[in-house]
């Protein structure tokens, strides 16, 4: 008799274990896409924040090179290229106003535009069609 109860309990346990395994698979299937979406979103928001800070820094550093005596628009563009190559920003536009810096030029404006479509990891997911634009005007040194 004890043997009969023991086999019934064992059968119930194995059926219960199969039901739990099935529930675990269903829960996993429901939760994993949400966790992955949150992970990808966190990565993408971190990337965009890094791009934004890099553009802020590049506009300042480029303008700083352009305002010193002997500084040229090419120097400013090259500095932007150098700074962006460090973090992998490949598509950007740098505008220097005026395009030719004469010794008597009073102010220099640097504008940098970075489209997020081509510079983010998941372009069509979170920041499609968005751009980061920064502009800085500085007075030339030595005037």
> 94-128 burial by CB neighbour count: b if 16+ within 10 A, else e?
bebeeeebeeebeebebbbebbbeebbeebeebbe
15's tokens: 């059926």
- Rounded to whole angstroms, the Cα distance separating 122 from 90 reads 15
- Sequence spans of domains, the chain: 2-139
Q: What is the structure's pLDDT at 9?
A: 57
Q: What is the structure's pLDDT at 51?
A: 94
Q: What is the value of pTM for the model shown?
A: 0.75
Q: What is the structure's pLDDT at 85?
A: 94
pLDDT along the chain (143 residues), means of 10: 55 60 83 91 90 96 92 93 93 93 90 91 77 94 73
Q: What is the structure's pLDDT at 58?
A: 96
68's tokens: 């010193």
Q: What is the structure's pLDDT at 7?
A: 55
Q: What is the structure's pLDDT at 114?
A: 96
């Amino acid at each position: 008799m004890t043997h009969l109860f023991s086999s019934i309990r064992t059968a119930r346990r194995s059926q219960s274990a199969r039901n739990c395994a099935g529930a675990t698979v269903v829960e996993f299937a429901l939760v994993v896409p949400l966790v992955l979406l949150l992970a990808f979103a966190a990565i993408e928001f971190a990337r965009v924040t890094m791009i934004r800070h890099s553009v802020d820094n590049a506009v300042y550093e480029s303008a700083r090179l352009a305002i010193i005596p002997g500084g040229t628009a090419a120097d400013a563009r090259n500095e932007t290229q150098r700074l962006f190559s460090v973090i992998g920003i490949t598509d950007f536009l740098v505008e220097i106003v005026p395009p030719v810096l004469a010794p008597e030029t009073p102010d220099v404006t640097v504008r940098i535009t970075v489209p997020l479509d081509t510079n983010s990891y998941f372009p069509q997911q979170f920041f499609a069609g968005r751009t980061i634009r920064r502009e800085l005007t500085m007075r030339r040194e030595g005037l």
